[in-house]
Amino acid sequence: MPARPPADGKVLELRGKGRSFAAIAKLLGYESANAANVAFNRALRARPAAEQKLLRKQEKLRLDALAERVRARPNLSEREIGRQLRTISRLRSELAAE
């Protein structure tokens, strides 16, 4: 069962500390990494505009770094790299949505 919205603020805190959405989901009891990402975006949108801008900038930097790490992994097939980069692209789109 997903955590209730009051836990959403905790998602922001943990993500700011560099935790993955999968780790956050496990720690807070969300059903999936995607559910933790939805909670992150929900919490982000509940913040004042100036804070949202900062949080989006920080998350974009994390996603950029993740994409670079994915591209640099020699043990991944082109197909797997593409899949992971599409996921990162989806996360960027959800982050940018108002």
Domains identified in the chain, total number = 1
Over residues 32-76, the pLDDT tens digits come to: 999 999 999 999 999 999 999 999 999 999 999 999 999 999 999
Over residues 15-28, the pLDDT tens digits come to: 999 999 999 999 99
In Å, how far are 38, 71, 85, 86, 87 from 67, measured between CA atoms?
20, 6, 6, 10, 10
Query: 28: Cβ–Cβ under 8 A, 6 or more apart, which residues?
Result: 3, 7, 10, 11, 14, 36, 39
Tokens describing residue 2: 């997903």
| Rama region for 47: left / alpha / beta (φ>0; ψ in -120 to 50; rest) | beta
Residue 7: pLDDT band with limits 50, 70, 90: confident
**What's residue 62's pLDDT?**
97
Query: Is the pLDDT assigned to residue 3 strictly greater than 50?
Result: no
Provide the domain limits for residue 77. Answer: 5-96
